[in-house]
């Protein structure tokens, strides 16, 4: 498998992904089903996340807004890029 | 002062910048806390002072099946929050 | 060579689970989470915790009201709540009932 350099080159590891989305709009979904939309400021190895201009959505409805928000990584189901229109 | 923003290199810096400020903490179990951050560690264990705790419960009416949302508030002068119950922390708005 | 022999003794299938996932990079994969959630997408990469980067994702939630599908561009899926991985994606004729 080691000689298949092309495959390895194409692979996008979690850390590559995280580098590529800093400062970008993201959706963070928690295990509870709550969504947070905002600008990703930074994150660490525990998937702790700092976000700006954060909006909290419960069942698709806007429930809260936070200027800055820290989300504890253990609650995170996924971090998604926002589909460009 | 303007350099504060630049010092947020990792998520926990956001908490460091909130020391001695009033913060909002969303916990598991529909529990919310608003209080002054006195101390924290890497697990997000926290010491908060002058805390207002809000607990939200949803009950279903036996007859109409309507959801009844109840919020209970109480003041606690000083408390310790165990980090594993923390979902989200929001510092006060900077202006 | 010695290391390889040791590995073969410990794992007679000659294929580590992580190697199987590695072979799925670039292909469709079906992820069944703990709880009533499934995710289908193209695998781009993963790490030692099996956190996964997925592209052109469908998130399928099964609730009392029925299925809810959310489409997402590219995600980092936390490996923590993954139960099962199925290489090749989700077959059309599987509707989630057993």
Predicted pLDDT at C1: 53
The answer to whether residue A50 neighbours chain B at the CB level (below 8 Å) is yes
Q: Which CATH architecture has domain B11-89?
A: Roll (2.30)
> Which chain A residues are within 8 Å of C61, Cβ to Cβ?
33
Q: Give me the pLDDT at residue A5, please.
A: 38
Q: Do chains A and B touch (3 or more CB pairs under 8 A)?
A: yes
Find the closest chain B residue to A30 by CA distance.
B87
Please tell me the distance in Å from A11's CA to the nearest CA on chain C: 5
* Residues in chain B where the model's pLDDT stays below 70: 1-6, 93-95
- Which of B12, B13, B88 minimises the CB distance to A69? B88
For A15, list phi and psi in degrees, rounded to 5: -70, -35
Structure tokens belonging to residue A81: 């890029």
Six token digits for residue B13: 């810096």
Residues whose CB falls within 8 Å of the CB of residue C63, separated by 6 or more in sequence, listed in order: C36
Helix (H, G, I), strand (E, B) or coil at C52: strand
Residue A66 to chain C, least CA–CA distance (Å): 23
**What per-residue confidence (pLDDT) applies to A10?**
64
The whole-angstrom separation of Cα A40 and Cα B10 is 11
- pLDDT per position as a tens digit, C25-77: 999 999 999 988 999 999 999 999 999 999 999 999 988 888 899 999 999 99
Alpha carbon of B45: minimum distance to chain A alpha carbons (Å): 11
Show the tokens assigned to B27: 């916990």
For chain B, the three-class secondary structure string (H helix, E strand, C coil) is CHHHHHHCCCHHHHHHCCCCCEEEEEECCCEEEEEEEEEECCCCCEEEEEEEEEEEEEEECCCCCCEEEEEEEEEEEEEEECHHHEEEEECCCCC
Instruction: Read off the tokens for A12.
Output: 């996008």
| Residue A64 structure tokens | 């809260």
CA dist C34 and A45 (Å) reads 22
ipTM above 0.85, yes or no: no
Q: Is C52 within 8 Å of C46 (Cβ atoms)?
A: yes
Cβ B57 vs Cβ B68: under 8 Å? no
Give, for A18, the enclosing helix (H) or strand (E). helix A14-21
pLDDT below 50 — which residues of chain A? 1-8
């Amino acid at each position: 498998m080691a000689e298949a350099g092309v495959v390895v080159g194409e692979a996008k590891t979690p850390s590559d992904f995280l580098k590529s989305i800093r400062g970008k709009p993201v959706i963070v979904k928690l295990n509870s089903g709550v969504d947070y939309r905002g600008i990703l400021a930074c994150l660490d190895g525990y998937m702790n996340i700092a976000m700006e201009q954060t909006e909290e959505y419960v069942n698709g409805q806007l429930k809260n807004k936070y200027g800055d928000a820290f989300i504890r990584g253990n609650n995170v189901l996924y971090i998604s890029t926002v589909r460009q229109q | 002062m303007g350099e504060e923003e630049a010092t947020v290199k990792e998520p926990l810096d956001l908490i460091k910048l909130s020391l001695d400020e009033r913060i909002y903490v969303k916990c598991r179990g529909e529990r919310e806390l608003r209080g002054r951050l006195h101390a924290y560690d890497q697990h997000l264990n926290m010491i908060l002072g002058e805390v207002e705790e809000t607990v939200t419960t949803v009950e279903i009416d036996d007859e109409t099946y309507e959801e009844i949302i109840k919020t209970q508030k109480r003041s606690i002068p000083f408390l310790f929050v165990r980090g594993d119950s923390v979902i989200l922390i929001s510092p006060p708005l900077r202006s | 060579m010695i290391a390889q022999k040791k590995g073969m003794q410990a794992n007679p299938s000659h294929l580590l689970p992580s190697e199987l996932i590695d072979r799925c990079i670039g292909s469709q994969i079906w992820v069944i989470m703990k709880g009533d959630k499934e995710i289908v997408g193209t695998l781009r990469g993963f790490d030692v915790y099996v956190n996964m980067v997925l592209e052109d994702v469908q998130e399928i939630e099964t609730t009392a009201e029925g299925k809810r599908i959310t489409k997402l561009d590219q995600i980092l899926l936390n490996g923590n709540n993954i139960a099962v991985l199925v290489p090749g994606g989700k077959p059309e004729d599987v509707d989630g009932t057993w």
